[in-house]
Structure 1
Amino acid sequence: MARNLFVPIAAALILAAQALTSPARAETALPPDSVVSGEILPGWQTDRGTYMAALHLTLAPGWKTYWRAPGDAGIPPRFDWHGSKNVAAVRLHWPRPTVFSSNGMRTIGYVDDLVLPIEVTPGEPGRPMEIRARIDLGVCHDICMPMELRLDERLPGESRAAPIRAALAAQPLDARAARVGRVACEVEPIADGLRLTARIEVPPLGGDETAVFELPDPSIWVAETEMDREGSLLVARSDIVPADGTPFALDRSLVRITLLGQDRAVDIQGCGGAR
């Protein structure tokens, strides 16, 4: 039987920008396990010899949690798999998130429900695995609560493949599938870091478009992108500031760019130099 444990990791709640009404105060007074519940969904063995499972989070109506790059006002999730047995590696397959905007602040995440596929590489193929996960995440409505979630699950188990396959199908398209053309990046120094400008040849994604830059080093702050579109050319720019606030060498091949639109999302790995 899976163990599902929630622990608040901050005594104080982080107030959101909007004022709370009396109904909102009543709703956010719910105990943590009424706001969000979690479980590990068993899946299947892949052709590569890995095992596909998923983290399933169910949130109270109207509550949300965050994508791996949550935006300046979001709480980034953190995963710790130490204590798992016969597990050599874990890879997360994030489905397309939603962009939220409130009082001029942008956050990126999921509302009400999240199925996050987990691809597990066994240490010894053919032997059972035990997932022991500690997950630090934020859940938000009118206020935000940092939480700690602990789950145990033995794999393989009775397969619940349908929601996992649906979440895998909802991942952003890769650059080839999305018909992305040239991706060119310019880098210029600013007083406290670098400014990165990406020019991306890609068909419109529908509705308001958002670009997110990610770097391998999570300690480097990446500002919210500014966007322009000129036909099939999307231009996104952002300031990148390291902890010491000085310009640094940026390897363009390690920049990950995710484009989010109303109809679809695109995952671009690396970008070349400008023309």
Structure 2
Amino acid sequence: MTIATRIACALILLAPFSASAVAATPWQEGANSAARLHIARDASGDIVAGLEVRLDDGWKTYWRSAGSTGLPPRIQTEGSQNVGEARVVFPAPERFVAFGIEALGYEHGVTLPLRINLADPARGARLDVQADFLVCGKVCIPTHFSFAATIPADSSFLPAIADTPIAAALARVPRPALDENVALAQLVPAAEGLKVELKSFGEGGDLTGALIVAEVEGANPLIGKLGARGGGRFTATLIGVPPPPGTAVRLTVADEDLALDLSGTVTDAVAAEPTTGGYSLAAILAIAFLGGLILNVMPCVLPVLSIKVAALSRAAALDRGQQRLAFLATAGGIVTFIAVLAVALGTLKAFGRDVFWGMQFQEPLFVGFLFALFALMTLNLAGVFEIRLPDGMQNRLGRLGRTGDFADGFVIALLATPCSAPFLGTAIAFGLAGGASALAATFAALAAGFAFPYVLVAAVPGATRLLPKPGRWMARLQRALVVPMLAVVAWLGSILFAQVGVGVLIALATGSLAVAAVLRRPRPATVGLGGAVIAACVLVVVANVGSASVGGPSENAGHWQPFDREAIEGHVARGHVVFVDVTADWCITCVYNKAAALDREPVEALLARPDTVAMRADWTRPDDAIAAFVKDHGRYGIPLDVAYGPAAPNGILLPEILTIDAVRNAIAAARGRTGTMAKTGE
């Protein structure tokens, strides 16, 4: 053995934890994931570890503030030798939706750096890492990794950080905002959450579109996106429960090229801009009442017109006292449905879900239930079958009051929810963006306005005298009402066809006819055969709805292009106008807008111009990108129409009810032309 070899062996024996170090451990397999531990040195010779996690396609894991749907990574180094501290730092997160709830974390993979301080820098060390992750796809699976790595006394044995994935991870760790000439200008509570304003000075960059996250101890993070306000200022309203003044908040700002860290304290909201368009609470409630009142004469009245007429015909056969009770019961049904809807939306909101007006019509099972229900109601009106309850049950229902009229009111309100009315958007945005009290007050005012005509007829003496006298016309009217009811069934069928295809539609229609046959002739043979057909139809519906894809690309025709939010800025930069129409097959106001304005020749010619891009976002089915677009424009329902252009890069919001002039003027203003030019289409 040579002298050099003996010296090398002696050094190994005398300096444990030195040359036996390994730069990276082997990969360990976990649930739809794998991980390994890197050990490296930075430019100053300090030790940095990195836990590299690789995720299968479609699987995610969470950031340090996971939100209500997940758990943050938990990394422990107990059992390590000569390690004084191992501090985990988190790269900026990505924003995604897990189980319908907005969350923060990482897709595809992440490397979490650990800054290591040795108790005795002159000696080597052993780093033991126990890591727990929640890995989520269609389900969430807790995953555990365990690593042991040797750190040599001489860090030169280790690779440089630049040669490991740790370097890229550290580049995405948020750095102090002041280092990038960005500072916090305002942090105040707002009706819908927390309002943040940042200012960029010196050589500070453009923060438009950047993700911003506010972390408050003991609460879920609030998430938003920064928009430009001008003068180097950028604002965002982070939706959620606003922390009270005096609360410490940690802010993270991130986009593709930037990751910033800053903190501040929530101040009094006196200086904040109103989030209700400058309206007081009393004005908002008045607007909500007026919006509910107008719902009675909106296009969405057409599908429920037959229900209202049927209720009036029944009331004509009653004495004055019973007529008043009938109208009050209908008003009670309207108020009850609005209350149920408010509780449901408030509950979803409390669990972190984004909520919107009419969102229940995006669910095929809900639409399918309505389709079957109205198909049976239509067959009943046509005289195909009658439901005869036992005398005892009829007596018990009679003692409960005007149950039929109450049900009419409930269904009237239910079918009116796909419709938006003037004033309704402002009120709904305030209620859904605010806390529980704002939501309750707004929806109470909305229900009062919607039910007001029925209460007025019941309250005004002599009003019921205007009802026609009963006669044979009532039987003829019942048959005539089959036509508008068929229109309702056809409308619901068209929605269902767009959502899940013709198979479910045929199964529901067949099942409804089978139910009608059983009710018409409730004999053992009919019940047995009908029950088998109904069971088969239910299986077909469940199988097809469960396997149907949602949120796919919308089909567009003519000059309409598929919605692509990322492309809007590029089109505007080239001097083009972009007109975005957010619509859905279940949105009756959207159908009206197409007929009244968007599909009319003056507007079609404008949208077909070479320097104009018309995008249509079909929200018939759930779509996270469209939901975020609607929410970012301060709306909680559709229709939503926005015109972007060189003179309006942030967009011009159009009213819920469109006219040809409103569309032409918005396009002209976005292009930078007003006045007579707008009228001529220039």
Measured after TM superposition, the shift of residue 41 of structure 1 is 0.5
CA contact (8 A) 1:56 1:116 kept: yes
Q: What is the distance in 1 between the residues matched to 2:194 and 2:118? A: 39
- Structure 2 equivalent of residue 11 of structure 1: none
- Structure 2 equivalent of residue 261 of structure 1: 255
CA contact (8 A) 2:41 2:48 kept: yes
- Structure 1 equivalent of residue 199 of structure 2: 201
- Structure 2 equivalent of residue 159 of structure 1: 159
Matched, 1:94 2:90: yes
Measured after TM superposition, the shift of residue 121 of structure 1 is 0.5
- Structure 1 equivalent of residue 235 of structure 2: 234
- Structure 2 equivalent of residue 109 of structure 1: 105
Task: Report the AA paired with residue 164 of structure 1.
Answer: I
Structure 1 residues 143 and 4: alpha-carbon distance in aligned structure 2, compared to 1, 3 A threshold: farther
Aligned partner (choices 177, 187, 190) of residue 175 of structure 1: 177
SS in 1 for 2:235: strand
Structure 1 residues 223 and 214: alpha-carbon distance in aligned structure 2, compared to 1, 3 A threshold: closer
Where does the alignment leave 5 or more consecutive residues of structure 2 unmatched? 1-21, 272-682
Aligned partner (choices 55, 60, 67) of residue 64 of structure 1: 60
Q: What is the distance in 2 between the residues matched to 1:72 and 1:210? A: 19
Structure 1 residues 248 and 199: alpha-carbon distance in aligned structure 2, compared to 1, 3 A threshold: closer
Structure 1 residues 270 and 239: alpha-carbon distance in aligned structure 2, compared to 1, 3 A threshold: same
Q: Normalising by structure 1, report the TM-score.
A: 0.70
- Structure 1 equivalent of residue 587 of structure 2: none
SS in 2 for 1:177: helix
Structure (1 or 2) with the larger CA radius of gyration: 2
SS in 2 for 1:84: coil
Q: What is the distance in 2 between the residues matched to 1:110 and 1:201? A: 28
Measured after TM superposition, the shift of residue 222 of structure 1 is 2.7
- Structure 1 equivalent of residue 381 of structure 2: none
Matched, 1:214 2:215: yes
SS in 1 for 2:166: helix
Q: What is the distance in 2 between the residues matched to 1:118 and 1:70? A: 19
Percent identity, aligned pairs only, is 26
SS in 1 for 2:30: helix
Q: What is the distance in 1 between the residues matched to 2:241 and 2:245? A: 11
Structure 1 residues 159 and 107: alpha-carbon distance in aligned structure 2, compared to 1, 3 A threshold: same
SS in 2 for 1:270: strand
Structure with bigger RCO (C-alpha 8 Å, 6+ apart) = 1
1:184-219 Cα offsets, whole Å, 9 max, x none, are 32358x9xxxx6543222454354x4321224x4xx
Aligned partner (choices 30, 37, 42) of residue 39 of structure 2: 42
Measured after TM superposition, the shift of residue 44 of structure 1 is 0.9
CA contact (8 A) 1:68 1:76 kept: yes
1:227-252 Cα offsets, whole Å, 9 max, x none, are 563342213345569xxxxx888453
- The structure in which a higher percent of residues are strand is 1
SS in 1 for 2:64: coil
- Structure 1 equivalent of residue 302 of structure 2: none
| Matched length | 233
Task: Report the AA paired with residue 139 of structure 2.
Answer: I
Task: Report the AA paired with residue 179 of structure 1.
Answer: N
SS in 2 for 1:142: coil
Measured after TM superposition, the shift of residue 96 of structure 1 is 2.5
Q: What is the distance in 2 between the residues matched to 1:46 and 1:126? A: 18
Q: What is the distance in 1 between the residues matched to 2:57 and 2:104? A: 17
CA contact (8 A) 2:61 2:136 kept: yes
CA contact (8 A) 1:221 1:240 kept: no
SS in 2 for 1:168: helix
1:147-170 Cα offsets, whole Å, 9 max, x none, are 222211111464263222222122
Measured after TM superposition, the shift of residue 46 of structure 1 is 5.5
- Structure 2 equivalent of residue 53 of structure 1: 49
